[in-house]
Amino acid sequence: MNFFQWLIKSMTGYFSRAAPPGPEPPQLPAVAAAPEEQPETITATAKDVQTAPRAASNGWEHLGSTKFLQWLGLGRDKPKAVENVTYFTCLKLLSETMAKMPIKVYTYDESGPLEINPADDRLAYLLDVRPNPLMTPTTFWTAVENNRNHYGNAYVYIRRKFLRQKYGGEIELQDLWIMPSSCVRVVIDDAGVFAGAGRLWYVYSDQYTGQQYVFSSDDVLHFKTSHTFNGLAGESVQAILASTVQGQQASQDFLNDLYENGLTARAVLEYTGDLSPAGQNKLRESFEKMGNGPANAGRILPVPLGFKLTPMDIKLTDAQYLELKKYGALQLAAAFGIKPNQLNDYDRGSYANSEQQTIAFQVETMQYTIKQYEEEMAYKLLDGPADRRRVKFNEKALLRTDSKTQMEILKTAVEGTIYAPNEARRYLDKRDLPGGDKLLANGGMIALEQMGAQYGVDKTEKGGTENAKI
């Protein structure tokens, strides 16, 4: 008894024991479907067990093959969008760009902004050092941005704790946790079931325990894509441009099939006589066995007497395969706000204007995302309008240049009284020096109200001037 005969016998025995009385077949647990697919429930009985499919070669299908999974009812007809290289590149670039920028918390007074040390503020610690015990800020915000772009929405649960005191108490921020977007539903309580009509709630279903949790909108950071039609939930690119994503995947599948067949196109087999459908299939399988696959590439194909094999020549250049694939990739990237040079496409650009395209990406694509993140965190993580703190991404981390250019920028800033020498040294990870906190200026520069003093001209209280005696 081989493996498949044992498996069929085991499955048949399982279904016969599990089948309840009555004509209805038993229901197996639902198979977890891909996000872009609708969940389905597999129904199977002993009669549904069929002969296992054989491989193209003289052997059985391995357990991880697509045909074997489809035979068990576990195969996917439509591949995931993230398997497309252009789609994956866009997700990777956007998420990594967002995670590169440190998030700082500033406090504002009459003198301007002052960065808060994470050791002195819980919010600054969570955003800059450790959002939760399991994740670094880079990993955390990468996952958040991936959820936002792939599903259209990203959700972060804000865990707070009430610290009871003798008289009253205070609420302390504990940590931040990502809620998978596929497990969250946005609900508007228009009937006032929970607490007041018109409020927004988030229902989270734990994918491991099946338990549901309801969170107030004040306890969830909700980041949406720019594709939203009601302002409450975002729409993902893969949902809006489903046909474009599927077309890109279909072109890749075509190329994969071509490689699997050893870059061999279809052929027409001519013969004299009349064969039954079974005979035609057997004849076709014998020729495919000898001619298809990478192992048979470049080998001589024997053709019996009376047969003629004519290849159907299909050239990728004639079908403009490369041009169509590149055009579809650029369309998909444009929907994400990705520039051609970021896909290594320099057909209409060069390394000279690559920097300008990078700046355009930061202004046209990332600036919207940064502004949305800052607004959402300021509203739900700070203590209202009276809180003098502000949350801000350090987008300057994306504009780091070579050492020579960086030194010229810092030198100009110090000479222009924008930076003190110690502030410039901190950008280079250098320690402060005595006297380095004073602003320096060129000796030829004076204050505006002292203009003319070097020529012996005095300004009167009325704003006029009187010539000094010589």
Residues sharing a CB contact under 8 Å with residue 43, sequence separation 6 or more, in sequence order: 25, 26, 27, 28
Residues sharing a CB contact under 8 Å with residue 59, sequence separation 6 or more, in sequence order: none
Residues sharing a CB contact under 8 Å with residue 199, sequence separation 6 or more, in sequence order: 188, 189, 216, 217
Domain residues of the chain, as ranges?
Answer: 1-77, 401-467
pLDDT per residue rounded down to tens, the chain (470 residues): 555 555 555 544 444 444 344 444 334 344 344 444 433 333 333 334 344 444 444 445 555 555 555 555 555 444 466 677 888 888 999 999 999 999 999 998 888 888 899 999 999 999 999 999 999 999 999 999 999 999 999 999 999 988 888 787 888 899 999 999 989 999 887 776 666 677 888 999 988 888 899 898 999 999 999 888 888 888 888 887 776 777 777 777 776 766 665 555 566 667 666 667 777 777 777 766 665 655 555 556 666 666 776 666 666 665 566 677 777 788 788 888 888 878 777 666 666 666 777 788 888 888 999 999 999 999 999 988 888 899 999 888 877 777 888 888 888 888 888 888 888 898 888 898 888 888 888 776 777 677 667 676 665 555 555 554 54
**pTM, two decimal places:** 0.66
CB count in 10 Å sphere of residue 87? 26
Gap between the Cα atoms of 368 and 58, Å rounded: 57
Query: Taken in order 175, 176, 179, 184, is the CA torsion positive or negative?
Result: positive
**Residue carrying structure tokens 């599948």:** 253
DSSP 8-state assignment for residue 297: T
